[in-house]
A and B are shown apart, each in its own frame.
Chain A
C-alpha cells in the first residue's frame, strides 16, 4: 500500500460522497418529481461507483472487491428502473410542473388520470370529479 494508492482512494471516496450529497441537494432544490428523479439517478449512481472504487483500493483482498463490484453492477441496473417507475406514476398522477415544460410530446389520452384523487397540483386540474374532491 503506497501513498499514491491512498491519495487515489481518498479522492474517489471524497468525490463520491460529494456527488451523493448533490443528489440529496437536488431532491430538495429541483422543482418537480421528474427533475428530482434526475438527481436521484445520475449523481447518485456515479457517487456510489466512486465510493466503491475508493473502497476497493483501500480494502485489501479480492473477496471484498468482488462484493463491491456486485454492488456497483446492481446499482447500475436498478437505479434507472426505480426512477422510471416513480416518474411514470408521477406523470400519470399529474405531478408535473407544466409551466416549466418547453414541449410535451407525451400529452394526450391514456397517459394521465382523468379522475380527481385530491392530491393533484393546482395547475393540473383533472377533467372528471372523483371521490377525493369536495362536493360543494
Chain B
C-alpha cells in the first residue's frame, strides 16, 4: 500500500464520510445540528479505526442514463421476483439450469461491483464468480429452455452492463462499450 499525501487521502474519504453521516441521520430519523455533529464524529472515528482503501473511478453520474437504468432495474426486480416466485409454486419442478461466463467490458472496481449486484437481482441470473483481471463474470441461470435461451440471457447481461456504464462510467469505459464487436453484443 502506497502512502498518499494527507490531503488526497482526505478527499477520497469524503464520499464515505457523507454516506456514514447520512446513515446516521436516517437512523435517528430527525434532522438536527446535534445529530449532524455526532454523526460526523462517529464517521471520523469509524474511518480512523477501520480505514478502507479508497474506491477508484466511476465517480460521475449522468442523470438521463441513470433514470433509464433505474427504470429497467425496478421493472427487472419485479419481473424476476414474480418469475422465481412462480417457479417455486408451480407443480413442474425446475429441470434445466446453466452456468455461463460472459466477457464484460467495464474496467473499474466500482462499475464491476454494481454490475454484479444488479445482475443478481434481475431475472434468471446469479453471480457465481467475477474474475477482476479478465473481466469475466460467471453466472448461474435458473431454468433455461435451450441454447438459444442461454444466448439471449448472455445478451441481456451485456445490455444491463451497457446501461450501468452509460449511467456511471468514465468516457473511456463508454468508448470501450461501442468498441466491442457487434457479434458479442447481440445473440
Contact = CB atoms under 8 A, between A and B. Distances in A.
A and B assemble together: yes
A136 to B, nearest CB: 34
B150 interface: yes
Most buried by A among B25, B83, B88, B93: B88
Interface string B77-108: 11011111101110001111111110000000
B44 interface: no
Interface residues of A, number: 49
A69 B127 CA distance: 25
Contact of B101 (A25, A87, A102, A105): A105
Contacts of B28: 63
Nearest to A50: B81
Interface residues of B, number: 43
A47 B88 CA distance: 14
A88 interface: yes
Interface in B121-168: 121, 123, 126-129, 138, 140, 142, 144, 146-147, 150
B23 to A, nearest CB: 7
B117 interface: yes
A105 B99 contact: yes
Q: Which of B30, B83, B97, B138 has the most CB of A within 10 A?
A: B97
A54 interface: no
Given A19-B85, A26-B84, A101 B97 contact: yes
Interface stretch (A5-13, A74-82, A113-121): A74-82
A41 B88 contact: no
A13 B83 CA distance: 19
Interface of B: 23, 25-30, 77-78, 80-85, 87-89, 93-101, 116-117, 120-121, 123, 126-129, 138, 140, 142, 144, 146-147, 150
Interface of A: 18-19, 22-23, 25-26, 29-31, 34-35, 37-39, 41-43, 45-47, 49, 61-64, 66-67, 69-70, 76-77, 79-81, 83-84, 87-88, 91, 96, 100-107, 111
Given A79-B120, A84-B126, A88-B128, 16 more contacts: A18-B85, A22-B85, A23-B85, A31-B94, A34-B128, A34-B142, A35-B142, A42-B84, A46-B77, A66-B27, A70-B26, A102-B97, A103-B100, A103-B150, A106-B138, A107-B99
7 contacts: A41-B120, A45-B121, A67-B26, A67-B29, A79-B120, A102-B96, A111-B129
